[in-house]
Structures are given as C-alpha cells and as structure tokens.
Amino acid sequence: MSTHFSVLKNDSNSGARLGRLVTAHGVIETPCFMPVGTQGTVKAMLPRDLKDLGCQILLANTYHLYLRPGHELIRNLGGLHRFMAWNGPILTDRGGYQVFSLGAMRKILEDGARFQSHLDGSSHLLTPEKTVEIQEALGSDIAMVLDECIPHDATRDYVQTSTERTVRWAERCLRVRRKPEQLMFGIVQGGLFEDLRRWCVDTMTPMPFDGFAVGGLGVGESEEQLNQIGGFTAGLLPSGRPRYLMGVGRPQDIVKAARAGFDMFDCVIPTRNARNGTLFTWHGKINIKRAEFAADLRPLDETCDCYCCGNFSRAYLRHLYMAGEILSSQLNSLHNLYFYHRLMDKCREAIRTGRSELWPQLAEASA
C-alpha cells in the first residue's frame, strides 16, 4: 500500500475509483488529466490560466529538458517549479516515447537508449541512472522509470525481450533513487500480449514503487486493442497505488479507461488539436476552420462556461485561426483544456454519486 495514495470510493458497477494522491506540491483528486508541458510550458497557456481552469498537475518531459536548457541549469535556478512558475505538482515523463519516435536516430542497448539529439545531432546515452539523475535535478513530484516504448506491431520475441529489459531498467532506477519525497512510478510494458503484461505486472508490483503506469498503448493499435489491453492490465495492478495510463487522450478513451480503474491520464491531443482548429464540445467536435462559421455569432458551446465560450463567437474564433493570430491558439487551448477538466469532474462525480448511467452519456458526448 502507498502512504501517498488512498482510494476514497469504488464504483459499484465498474472498476472506477475516486482517489487522493498526496505529493510534495499538493494533493490531487483522481481520476485526473495532466496537460502536457513538454518543455516546461503548456503551449499557448499561462500558468495562471491553468490554475483557473482547475488543472491539478502538469507533465514535463525529461528528454526535452535534458537537451534544452539542461537539468543542471534548472537545478541551479531553483528547480523546475520555480523555473516555470508553477507551484503545483509536476510529473516528469522519462523520455521513452520521445526516444521511440526518433526511429533510426536511436538504438536500444542493455545499458540504455543511445540517440542523436533532434536539435543538433549530438550523441547521448540515456540510462536508467541518468533518467533518475535528471528528474531529481528537475525536482518534479513524480518521476518515471526508463522503459522502451514498444511499437504496436512488434513481434512477440521483440516484445518479450524489451519487456524483460524494462523490468531490469526499473530495478536500476530504484537502486540509484536518492529523493524519497519524489514519488517514483514503475512502467508496465508487454505490448498486445496479455501473458507478457501479466508477467510484467507480477514481476514489477512487488518492487517499492509509489504507483504504476501502463505504457505502450496509444501508439497505433486499434481502439478495440487499446480498450482490451488497457482494461486487462488495469485489473492486474494493485488497488492501493495510483494507476497511470500514459499518452492516451481521446476523451472517449479516457472515460473508458477511468471506468476500467485508471486514475491518471495525459496527452497532447487537447492542445495540439486546439492549435489545429479542432475544438471539443459536449455536442461533438467542431472544426473551426469551416466556412460555415464565418458569420456564426453563437458561442463555441452554449453549455460551456469557460472564458472563451463566455466572450467570443464562433465567427471570431474562425477569424483568428484564418488570420494566424496567436490569440487563436490561446483561446482554443483554454477551451479544450477546460473541456477536459470538466470531463474529469464529471467522471469523479459519477463515482462519488454512484450514478452509473452517466458513464455512457459521458463517452457518447465526448466522442
């Protein structure tokens, strides 16, 4: 059992649960969504606005901050919280997905992941020990172990070899851990093979991690495979520690995963889609670029009480986007993140009140 996490209520009709996660910089109510601030900023968003819309925790990225501006510089400037003027909890992702996405520019070794920087082509070796060193220098509240993000179409032999290595890397991360106040999560891999997922869970959960993440999903597999493997793995994880589904971020997928028993989510979808003009509403997605909105004086979503919907018309939002104005990304991102946080509010309310009929409504409305 984790001393940092407690389950406040279980949903009687599903695996969903209401939780409370205590970190060095604040308490988080779960299920929760973490906006992605890869390089120490959530794109187009002020920290003040993130607080105002109900954001409890941000995600920053080990790989990117290591390359620029450097973890030692951030340490010397007072740590990541001070550097980015965010006094709430921060989770630092280990950089596994970023290394995975480099393709031919990286090589996985037993020691770690050797890669070429996407910035200048310089060569680096990211080991489990280095991952911990970087995250301790950043001073995040939750650190992730190093793993390999496995392609969804990898062969069974590859997945097994990689998963076994990920467990060895997790053990190495624990051995060099020096800051007990910084929570550390293990990462469960295993691809689309249930027996390998089970083996990874059985091998890793006896280790003294403060929580567990499920990786290797949301990387190209089908929706059916995502829901099947995600739900299967959630059911294997210990109930007394937080469960984090990494990188899965379509609203309907989050609702299904919360019902399966996951507590934490992150994804670039709300902010990336916002910058591309795709906005989430309780009546479906809207592509604000469409000509039909050129003279539409209605708010984006009449049922939404965010700053964007309370003050601006669809016509104005379309104008900003078509004109390439910076304010377009700001308002669109604010609205999408507000939508995601209200979605999590509604998930927590469904668990708190035991209203199981809300779940299908949430899944349908957010699709």
Could you give the CA distance from residue 281 to residue 340 in angstroms, rounded to a whole number? 10
* Catalytic site includes residue 305: no
* Catalytic site includes residue 266: yes
Could you give the CA distance from residue 209 to residue 200 in angstroms, rounded to a whole number? 14
Q: Which residues pair with 264 in a beta bridge?
A: 32, 244
Catalytic residue among 210, 253, 266, 301: 266
Catalytic residue among 11, 93, 253, 301: 93
Tokens 């920290």 belong to 47
Tokens 């906006």 belong to 35
Pairing of strands 17-23, 5-10: antiparallel
Which amino acid makes up residue 263?
Answer: D
Could you give the CA distance from residue 179 to residue 12 in angstroms, rounded to a whole number? 37
Could you give the CA distance from residue 189 to residue 242 in angstroms, rounded to a whole number? 16
Could you give the CA distance from residue 198 to residue 194 in angstroms, rounded to a whole number? 6
Specify whether the CB–CB gap between 134 and 80 falls below 8 A: no
Active site residues: 93, 266
